[in-house]
Structure 1
């Protein structure tokens, strides 16, 4: 865990992380394929007849400068895929996810006489881009493995105490779209804006108008988020650029909400462009870079997993998760869009033991993606134990699946 934390890697650049995981799998005796979807690792253990279970952990870090004062803090600075120099930090706990994946692999191999079926372990790239699972599917992961009947993942959560897990059935994480909108104007000299069509002004007006899409066009009883994460235009003080790029992120649970936000974005942006005299040939363009549906925990699988983890950790350490999150995941895409597999996301506590009491007093831990985010190292052990218990319950000899 500390090695991964000190050596974070961005999405689709997880070369060292993937190599470490693959070497561990091979040493244990798994059949291993590397380079799936770029840097993904797929390992398979066929252990007789029975259910096919896919367990996934993500590997990628974030362009965040770490502020946590620990001896294994990251100081890495790298070039991202766009050539931009950025600091790196495991600010979402994927270092812990990668470490407990290795632990699960060891447990399942050691106890293989207790279970039967086919276990697929996946180290996935680029979850933060919400495109890693898609890349692995596009690279034919489904030709490497049998079709899974179960898709399982765990995610650390700093607002649950270390040593605990939390889960509930139903929607858990929102659907998400990553989308780029490019407004094209007419460049010119900063002293003569009347001779140009300024995409900075158009983009600014569009950004402000987008704020009414959720507040006025979406049913207020249905969750929705529209965030503009980046506004890029121009290079010089005295030059009006030719174009501006807005990088948008949409979150939803109801597909009708997703469609309504997309329609609203296009209507707003196209009409702003027309208002400033943009011709039909230069109207805004819209590029969807990733599109993942919400995560929905299967009810029967959730109940079964909760019972298995109570047997492992104790009743008081298995908590009922609260409302769904507007954060997103893509692991459930690994079996393809038409999969009927049962899905489960388990929340693994990574906060201090007294975090619940602290939050009641108004003291909240740094959440993921924050430079002060901290994952209790012991969460790796509990995550490996809890998630192995779920796999052993599903695949254990004498279970209904056998």
Structure 2
């Protein structure tokens, strides 16, 4: 059945490639994806979807296609871009600049492949709509905003996504990355890390740089906090587990001879299990409070926990079923198992909210020989990867593979036509 449905891809290949280049050339930052959302919503309406909603969770789009009795299956893609200046040199490279949420003028680029994700989902939705005589059930298509802020999925759920549309029995998603184009990578269980971010303010007492005895120095306090936080993973997380604690921001003061009154830190945590996540979060607060007390801080530190995403768990049984369908369609030689990825994705919020399985896989976008050479020479770090200003998937076979993967996965879980 999958080969019958995907046969129609040949007639829409040029159109999808044009859509991809258009999205790549006109990227939009998280929660600003209005042009993108409009294009995608129009594509769903043109494909004959029964209902299409815009502005879900801010700038999200969802469409439903009801096709008789059978399971409800959800396909999801993310659509936001990043504040990165593109250096690919492509003729359709982005030259867009925009104002971010903090009022800064920044370059904008689809440096994570979300333009490819969205285009593949457009193609899969159109193919499945054309082939309604081949399957039965309900198809829910979701274009999610603000994945880079790990909040778009929660925003769409909070805005009534699953009250307005049928609740899916499985959530399916994919991510393009620095694998050989045409290949699919997968794992089972936790495949991507949970992510928690926190902004911390340490409260000292300002003074002239020549009179440190009159101050409570928050810079020294912050330096001790940064050093002490590195002991959490090495001394409180079991060696068999994985966790990362990163201090990505430390800001204090305005001049070298002024001891400031406050210091700010931005910290990010990556974990794979709820137990380790709880341990690391609690340890972070304990360390910061203790260092503040040891430094005679004038007030308790302030914690502002912000962006958060659960670990992305690709349900083992459902993943094995889906990969068996991929092997039958693509050939086992195009599938590869992957280690856990420390990056995070908020697609897991959808399945977690409903208590239904999620299946998530990766597929390649780089020229095969480039990847093979990097492997042979032990220089994988030289490959352009997601969030790099040089990351730009090959249009083909990346686009075809991504469309076909979504179609095959959906048909694996939709019912058969009567």
Q: Normalising by the residue count of structure 1, what TM-score does the alignment of the two structures yield?
A: 0.93
Mapped pair 1:369 → 2:387: yes
10, 16, 34: which one aligns with 2:35:
16
Q: Which contiguous aligned blocks of 4+ residues in structure 1 show a shift greater than 6 angstroms?
A: none
Alignment partner, residue 6 of structure 2: none
Alignment partner, residue 111 of structure 2: 91
Aligned mates of 1:74, 1:209 — CA distance in 2 = 41
Alignment partner, residue 278 of structure 2: 259
User: How many Å apart are 1:256 and its aligned residue?
Assistant: 2.1
Higher helix share: 2
Residues 357-391 of structure 1, C-alpha deviation per residue, up to 9 Å, x if partnerless?
22222242122112222211121221011111111
Alignment partner, residue 265 of structure 2: 246
Aligned mates of 1:226, 1:187 — CA distance in 2 = 29
Aligned partners of 2:195 and 2:310 also within 8 Å: yes
User: How many Å apart are 1:336 and its aligned residue?
Assistant: 5.0
Aligned mates of 2:90, 2:245 — CA distance in 1 = 35
Q: CA, structure 1 residues 250+200, in 2 after alignment: closer, same or farther (shift >3 Å)?
A: same
Unaligned 5+ segments in structure 2 are 1-19
User: How many Å apart are 1:236 and its aligned residue?
Assistant: 4.2
Q: CA, structure 1 residues 169+197, in 2 after alignment: closer, same or farther (shift >3 Å)?
A: same
Residues 103-160 of structure 1, C-alpha deviation per residue, up to 9 Å, x if partnerless?
11111111111111111111111111111111111212121112211011010021x2
367, 390, 413: which one aligns with 1:352:
367
Alignment partner, residue 104 of structure 1: 124
Aligned mates of 1:50, 1:100 — CA distance in 2 = 24
C-alpha RMSD of matched pairs (Å) = 1.8
233, 248, 252: which one aligns with 1:214:
233
User: How many Å apart are 1:197 and its aligned residue?
Assistant: 2.4
State how 1:220-235 maps to structure 2 within 5 Å: 220-235=239-254
Moved more, 302-311 or 369-378: 302-311
Aligned mates of 2:352, 2:157 — CA distance in 1 = 7
Aligned mates of 1:231, 1:70 — CA distance in 2 = 36
Alignment partner, residue 290 of structure 1: 307
SS across alignment from 2:147? coil
Alignment partner, residue 135 of structure 2: 115
Count of equivalent residues: 394
Residues 63-118 of structure 1, C-alpha deviation per residue, up to 9 Å, x if partnerless?
22222121111222221111122222211111111111111111111111111111
User: How many Å apart are 1:39 and its aligned residue?
Assistant: 0.6
Aligned mates of 1:141, 1:186 — CA distance in 2 = 48
Alignment partner, residue 3 of structure 1: 22
User: How many Å apart are 1:4 and its aligned residue?
Assistant: 1.4
Aligned mates of 1:266, 1:140 — CA distance in 2 = 34
Residues 293-341 of structure 1, C-alpha deviation per residue, up to 9 Å, x if partnerless?
2122222322222232233323322x1322111111111212453x221
Aligned mates of 2:168, 2:310 — CA distance in 1 = 18
Q: CA, structure 1 residues 101+214, in 2 after alignment: closer, same or farther (shift >3 Å)?
A: same
Aligned partners of 2:71 and 2:415 also within 8 Å: no
Moved more, 324-333 or 297-306: 297-306
Aligned partners of 1:114 and 1:396 also within 8 Å: no
Aligned partners of 2:57 and 2:158 also within 8 Å: yes
State how 1:2-401 maps to structure 2 within 5 Å: 2-30=21-49, 31-158=51-178, 160-279=179-298, 282-317=299-334, 319-337=335-353, 339-358=354-373, 359-364=375-380, 365-378=383-396, 379-397=398-416
Q: CA, structure 1 residues 168+262, in 2 after alignment: closer, same or farther (shift >3 Å)?
A: closer
User: How many Å apart are 1:356 and its aligned residue?
Assistant: 4.3
Aligned partners of 1:176 and 1:250 also within 8 Å: yes
Aligned mates of 2:370, 2:413 — CA distance in 1 = 31
User: How many Å apart are 1:32 and its aligned residue?
Assistant: 0.8
Q: CA, structure 1 residues 213+24, in 2 after alignment: closer, same or farther (shift >3 Å)?
A: same
SS across alignment from 1:330? coil
Aligned mates of 1:211, 1:112 — CA distance in 2 = 55
Aligned partners of 2:201 and 2:264 also within 8 Å: yes
Aligned partners of 2:311 and 2:344 also within 8 Å: yes
